[in-house]
């Protein structure tokens, strides 16, 4: 038997090694049994590469096994593996051990331990196996733990995931957050179906290596696919370059513009008239508004998040000074897209965009029903003379006569286009 600091080698040729977490932890070797301890605490920004280096070392053996043991820590890669195991979406078997299953632990031990920890959240994570976010996340930890995600219907190697194909007459928006694509922060964009509430993520893109020059083509191809979606680009840093290419070279027409309205700050206008910018520059004011609306939408079930990585980023999107941002070692690029969208949703341009189609459909439906109600009845010429002929003609042409029931609806509709 041979010993050193990181391994033990036996006379029969087998060995046991211990390795630290890295992208090349055990790459190049072959193992029959691997245990990953406290895997939930591997930072998100290296978890994928670490797991990718470990898994191939045991995947070829028929009797090989991998065991992942950890205390929960937020909605990260370990959380996804655990949830997928419970749902039968991966080959792992989920085994949960809670505090009362350990011999010698009783209610008295529980109360003593909870006092020693000094935090209900720590107790729930350490001993109740609860996947909770940090106490200071934008979204309540209890809400985060209840959020469900779907498997994408299609995915590309570049990082595009499709959850729902585009539907005829549906309205879509895309918000874009760019980076420098040097392996750290991600290019990201989210496609939302905004035809009606709850709004739903139908596709998303995230990539931290794609050159900036190629990103506009990716965005435009997805935008055209989703009914020429209305597109808002954050112009900070490389976003200006992306916006310019979309506008000047690709000539994408549904690029949302903004203008500065004095103390009111930036306002979405949706079309290029006057002194406008093709996109929006993220500011403290926009981020504050976007975060408040995002919290309201998610906790009020007004938005279906769908994507695991979005939920994971929200679990580490925490309070920092007077704002919110990703915890150290984590990313918030997809959340930034949602923050941008939520700010956009407060703009009168967006309300007009969403409501116009709904108002038109409701008007057509009301007129159709009115005509159906009238058709079964016969009218004599004298009866017709006593009616407002102009109002009848306008109704048949799909127009709204003044001082009628429809006119009252048109002026009194609420921002959601409902009664």
State how far the Cα of 69 lies from the Cα of 38, in Å rounded to an integer: 6
Please tell me the total count of domains within the chain. Answer: 3
* Residue 354 domain-assigned (yes or no): no
Average pLDDT over residues 156-184: 89
Q: Would you please indicate which residues are annotated as catalytic (active-site) residues? A: 38
Q: What is the pLDDT of residue 352?
A: 81
For residues 273 and 219, state if they share a domain. yes
Burial class (CB in 10 A: 0-12, 13-18, 19+), 280: buried
Q: What percent of the chain has pLDDT over 90?
A: 26
* Residue 377 domain-assigned (yes or no): yes
- Residue 31 vs residues 40, 64, 70, 81, 119: alpha-carbon distances, Å: 22, 7, 21, 21, 40
Residue 295, both tokens: 């919290």
Q: What is the pLDDT of residues 365-416, one digit of tens each?
A: 556 666 665 555 444 444 434 444 444 444 444 443 333 322 332 333 333 3
For residues 198 and 273, state if they share a domain. yes
Say if residues 368 and 220 touch (Cβ distance below 8 Å): no
Domain boundary among 99, 133, 167: 133
* Residue 138 domain-assigned (yes or no): no
Range(s) of the domain holding residue 365: 361-412
* Residue 417 domain-assigned (yes or no): no
Domain boundary among 133, 155, 170: 133
**Between 107 and 356, residue with greater pLDDT:** 107
For Cα atoms 373, 379, 381, give the angle at the middle one, nearest 5 degrees: 145
Neighbours of 237 (CB within 10 A): 15
Say if residues 99 and 151 touch (Cβ distance below 8 Å): no
For residues 156 and 9, state if they share a domain. no
For residues 225 and 284, state if they share a domain. yes
Say if residues 96 and 335 touch (Cβ distance below 8 Å): no
Say if residues 272 and 233 touch (Cβ distance below 8 Å): no
For residues 302 and 375, state if they share a domain. no
Q: What is the pLDDT of residue 186?
A: 86
Alpha helices in 118-230 (DSSP H): 120-127, 141-146, 215-225
Q: What is the pLDDT of residues 256-311, one digit of tens each?
A: 998 887 667 788 886 655 578 888 888 888 899 999 999 999 998 999 998 999 99
Cis, peptide link before residue 348, omega less than 30° from 0? no
For Cα atoms 186, 71, 47, give the angle at the middle one, nearest 5 degrees: 25
Name the average pLDDT for the chain: 78
For residues 341 and 394, state if they share a domain. no
Question: What residues pair up with 175 in beta bridges, in sequence order?
Answer: 190, 232
For residues 121 and 186, state if they share a domain. no
State how far the Cα of 85 lies from the Cα of 93, in Å rounded to an integer: 6
At residue 126 the predicted structure's pLDDT band, cuts being 50, 70 and 90, is confident
Q: Which long-range contacts (CB under 8 A, 24 or more apart) does 91-95 make?
A: 92/68
Q: What is the pLDDT of residue 18?
A: 77
For residues 194 and 286, state if they share a domain. yes
For residues 117 and 175, state if they share a domain. no
Domain boundary among 133, 166, 185: 133
* Residue 418 domain-assigned (yes or no): no
Average pLDDT over residues 52-78: 74
For residues 333 and 385, state if they share a domain. no
For residues 237 and 119, state if they share a domain. no
* Residue 356 domain-assigned (yes or no): no
Q: Which helix (H) or strand (E) holds 201?
A: strand 199-207
CATH number (domain holding residue 273): 3.30.420.240
Q: What is the pLDDT of residue 8?
A: 81
Residue 251 reports pLDDT greater than 60: yes
* Residue 85 domain-assigned (yes or no): yes
Q: What is the pLDDT of residue 374?
A: 58
* Residue 330 domain-assigned (yes or no): yes
Nearest one of 285, 250, 239 to 264, comparing CA atoms: 285
**Between 25 and 12, residue with greater pLDDT:** 12
For residues 258 and 287, state if they share a domain. yes
For residues 334, 335, 338 and 340, what is the CA-based torsion angle, rounded to 10 degrees? -100
Residue 37 reports pLDDT greater than 90: no
Q: What is the pLDDT of residue 419?
A: 26
Supply the pTM of this predicted model: 0.68
CATH number (domain holding residue 77): 3.40.50.300
Nearest one of 318, 287, 343, 341 to 139, comparing CA atoms: 318
């Amino acid at each position: 038997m041979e010993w050193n600091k990181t391994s033990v080698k036996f006379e029969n040729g087998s060995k046991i090694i211990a390795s630290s977490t890295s992208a090349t932890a055990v790459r190049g070797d072959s193992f029959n049994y691997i245990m990953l301890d406290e895997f939930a605490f591997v930072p998100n920004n290296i978890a994928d590469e670490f797991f990718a280096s470990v898994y191939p070392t045991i995947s070829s053996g028929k009797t090989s096994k991998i065991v992942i043991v950890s205390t929960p820590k937020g909605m990260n890669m370990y959380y996804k593996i655990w949830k997928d195991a419970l749902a039968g979406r991966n080959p792992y078997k989920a085994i949960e051990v809670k505090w009362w299953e350990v011999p010698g632990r009783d209610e008295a031990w529980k109360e003593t331990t909870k006092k020693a920890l000094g935090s209900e959240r720590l107790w729930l994570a350490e001993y109740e196996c609860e996947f909770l976010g940090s106490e200071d996340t934008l979204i309540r930890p209890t809400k985060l733990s209840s959020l469900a995600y779907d498997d994408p219907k299609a995915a590309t190697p570049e990082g595009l995931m499709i959850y729902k194909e585009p539907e005829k007459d549906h309205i879509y928006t895309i918000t874009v957050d760019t980076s420098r694509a040097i392996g750290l922060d991600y290019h990201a964009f989210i496609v939302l179906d905004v035809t009606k509430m709850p709004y739903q993520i139908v596709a998303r893109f995230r990539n931290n290596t794609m050159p900036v020059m190629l990103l506009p083509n990716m965005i435009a191809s997805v935008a055209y696919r989703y009914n020429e979606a209305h597109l808002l680009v954050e112009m900070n840093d490389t976003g200006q370059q992306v916006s310019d290419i979309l506008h000047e070279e690709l000539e994408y027409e549904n690029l949302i513009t903004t203008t500065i309205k004095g103390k009111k700050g930036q306002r979405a206008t949706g079309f290029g008239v006057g002194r406008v910018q093709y996109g929006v520059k993220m500011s403290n004011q926009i981020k504050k508004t976007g975060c408040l609306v995002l919290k309201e939408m998610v906790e009020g079930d007004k938005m279906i998040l769908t994507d695991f990585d979005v939920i994971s980023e929200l679990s580490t999107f925490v309070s920092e000074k007077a704002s919110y941002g990703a915890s150290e070692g984590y990313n918030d690029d997809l959340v930034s897209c949602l923050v941008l969208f939520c700010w956009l949703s407060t703009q009168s341009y967006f309300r007009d965009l969403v409501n116009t189609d709904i108002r038109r459909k409701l008007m057509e439906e009301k007129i159709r029903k009115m005509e159906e109600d009238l058709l079964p009845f016969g009218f004599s010429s004298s009866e017709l003379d006593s009616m407002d002929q102009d109002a009848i003609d306008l109704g048949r042409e799909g127009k709204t006569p003044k001082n009628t029931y429809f006119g009252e609806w048109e002026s009194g509709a609420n921002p959601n286009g409902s009664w």
